[in-house]
């Protein structure tokens, strides 16, 4: 993607939000330096163009293998959106591949953009907070894997990684995962 100024990225986000309806939304509370950090999150599954790089802090994916989906369990939830924070200079694809190897020992093929999550801080910025504020995005992909043997390989947060039948996963995973699994299945048809 070509270089995009943060002002241009913010204008893109304003246009995007004005033109799209989120599939779902929720409020969440993260923790920063022991204090609550409330956010509002909108989940979109109707995205065809990659969001501007300056706003994307994390890249995640629904990973399918036949009629199975990769699920992960951590101390907080069961989910189907492995991925994580971009490192300096990484492309979306590089982040996705690295994170899937780290979290689930999983390789992917045929990845394509599925949606975005728009996260917005709803409280005053903490004094030492050095991350994007107030708005940032997660790019959500769908990808295929031909290796249905996932495993956690020392990730410091995820406890379990495994492929399981889509129907079973839909009953276990969190709201964002359900939204994007369903979108991945629609995109497959």
Residue 66 lies in a domain: yes
Residue numbers of the domain that contains 29: 6-188
| Distance (Å) of CA 44 to CA 23, 32, 109, 116 | 5, 26, 23, 5
Q: What span, in angstroms and rounded, lies between the C-alpha atoms of 53 and 125?
A: 22
CATH code where residue 42 lies? 3.90.79.10
Residue 85 lies in a domain: yes
Sign of CA dihedral 71, 120, 90, 23: positive
Residue 1 lies in a domain: no
Chain segment 91-143, per-residue pLDDT in tens? 999 999 999 988 888 889 999 999 999 999 999 999 999 999 999 999 999 99
Residue 155 lies in a domain: yes
Chain segment 54-80, per-residue pLDDT in tens? 999 999 999 999 999 999 998 889 999
CB distance 71 to 104 below 8 Å: no
Global pTM value: 0.90
pLDDT higher than threshold 50 for residue 26: yes
pLDDT higher than threshold 60 for residue 152: no
Residue 172 lies in a domain: yes
Residue 114 lies in a domain: yes
Specify the number of domains making up the chain: 1
Residue 72 lies in a domain: yes
Confidence of residue 10 (pLDDT cuts 50, 70, 90): confident
CB distance 181 to 172 below 8 Å: no
Q: Please compute the mean of the pLDDT values over residues 155-182 and round it to a whole number.
A: 91
Residue 51 lies in a domain: yes
């Amino acid at each position: 993607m070509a270089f995009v100024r943060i002002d241009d990225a913010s204008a893109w986000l304003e246009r995007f939000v004005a033109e799209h309806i989120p599939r779902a939304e929720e409020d969440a509370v993260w923790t920063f330096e022991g204090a609550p950090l409330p956010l509002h999150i909108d989940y979109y599954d109707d995205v065809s163009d990659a969001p501007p790089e300056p706003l994307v802090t994390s890249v995640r994916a629904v990973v399918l293998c036949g009629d199975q989906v990769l699920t992960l369990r951590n101390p907080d939830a069961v989910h189907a959106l492995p991925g994580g924070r971009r490192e300096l200079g990484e492309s979306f694809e590089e982040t996705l591949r690295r994170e899937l190897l780290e979290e689930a020992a999983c390789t992917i093929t045929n990845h394509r953009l599925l949606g975005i999550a728009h996260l917005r801080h709803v409280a005053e910025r903490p004094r030492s907070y050095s991350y994007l504020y107030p708005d940032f995005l997660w790019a959500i992909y769908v990808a295929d894997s031909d290796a249905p043997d996932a495993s956690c390989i020392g990730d410091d947060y995820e406890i379990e990684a495994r492929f399981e039948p889509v129907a079973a996963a839909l009953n276990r995973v969190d709201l964002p995962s359900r939204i994007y699994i369903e979108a991945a299945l629609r995109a497959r048809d």
